[in-house]
Structure 1
Amino acid sequence: MRIAWGLAVCAALLGIAACDPAASPEPAPTSTTTGRVTVPPNMYGADPPKPGQCLDTSNAIVVDCGEPHDAEVVSTGKLTATSMPDEATAATLTMPPCREKLAEYLGGQDMDATNLVAMPLWPNEQQWAKGERWLLCTVAEVGADEKPLHRTGSLEGALLSNDIYRFQTCSVSSPSREARVRRGPCDGPHLGEALPGVISLGKPGSPMPSTEAMNKTAAEKCPALVAKYINGDNKEISAAWRLPNAESWARGYTNLVCYVEASRPVRVRLRNLGPITLPS
């Protein structure tokens, strides 16, 4: 299984409705490999888990969601590929439908502003050779190392309320200047906070807009989201955003994510901060 999220970045001072695309670095695609799960023969194929059930993937077992687990089943399906795909191809095939199901399961489209990610599971080579074609779409909460955390409780409907802030992505790296968002705790030193109100740039399978067009959309919309989030203007805070690159677009990441970015690290959330000086 593989999670991918490659990004181009750009930023603007709060209130400035323009950004120079040439100043935006074009990073190499970022991906996280969580490791192939070894499962007993037909364990998932013959008796697949049901949506809402939770998994301990290291032991390939279904567990009660009140017990520690690292994945929660969102939907089940079948792979239609005629030959065993490599991981990159399989991710491109499975991530878009799994992300669609995940948005429905979580109850909203703002998952890309959180640490909740789609994690498809599919057969390994030995299982494929035995005719297994199962697909499990699962959701995982990832930590600073981008690996799934062991957690308790169900994530169904997690984006329907202010619970979204329990899972909000906070970045210890600069969202506007660094190629990769490095997650960190929101109550620890961080520079950026991803904002609810993720902006759709198209549907999976549609042509990817130009970087210039995506930046134009971001420059028009992100400053307003930042002002609403912090409840006013603040000279020490800027609007930033993250854009999909070609690889992530092909995998269904067809959104841009706005960020609020502080001029120096803070240990508290910037939500409703207003015009006051950044806390030390």
Structure 2
Amino acid sequence: DGTVSNFQQASCEGEHRFEVSARENLATYPSSEFGRNAPMPDLTRQAQLREELCQSPTLRYLGGRFDPVGRYSIAPILPPAEAWAAGDRTMLCGVQSTDASGVPLLTTGAAAEQDQAVVAQPGECVFVDDSRSLRLVDCAENHHLETTSIVDLGAVFPEGTPSVEDQDRHLQEACTQAAIDYLDGEENLYQSTLQPYWGTLGQASWIGGSRSVNCSLFHVNADGGFANLNGTARAGREALLIDGQPPAEQPPRNPLREQPVP
């Protein structure tokens, strides 16, 4: 129902679930809506209040660094029901990071100082739904991506916003090597039949404060989309299913020659 309870003030440097950006006194707004005997706003009205009253002050609080598709979302918190009934009309505006169900997650550090990119950790598996939204799942379940690494593009492109083409050029090599390292060798990658995959950051995300992307493993299905994977590629081809089938047998190859030492 949108209510939050058991508030405790915490330092933004430590673990917390909500970072306050502004306080709004709803009592200064029309009494017919927020008067002493008025009910608490429902979820639809809370979403409107977020846009009307929280968006601008929160963007100012963050110094303009906000990735609209990043790890943080702007949210309002109303007083607990008992406090509202007693006349408290203070609404807190702020930012939070939530899971796929909308439950606030523990975060550390002030939001304005954080990389705002949404990334999975190496070894985690990701399902891509029809709306292209990503959610973490157990690797035994149907998934489309197995994460191999996190790449900080800020260290690679310290000046300005990199083009998608520049990101691709760097990530093609970086994510191929990440896949080899993750599977303990190029031969294991070859036998898995999986391919390296990576995301890139758009201009709005970069300007908004995101800097990191994931490298992953995936397989293309017959329709050119993501194949369903089950199991982790780290456990070998015997433990991996691709669209319900073991990885296709790979033809033998000549051993790869070591790179010459300069």
If the length of structure 2 is used for normalisation, what is the TM-score?
Answer: 0.49
Structure with the larger helix share: 2
TM-score, normalization: structure 1? 0.46
Greater relative CO (CA pairs within 8 A, separation 6+)? 1
Instruction: Answer with 1 or 2: which has the greater Rg.
Output: 2
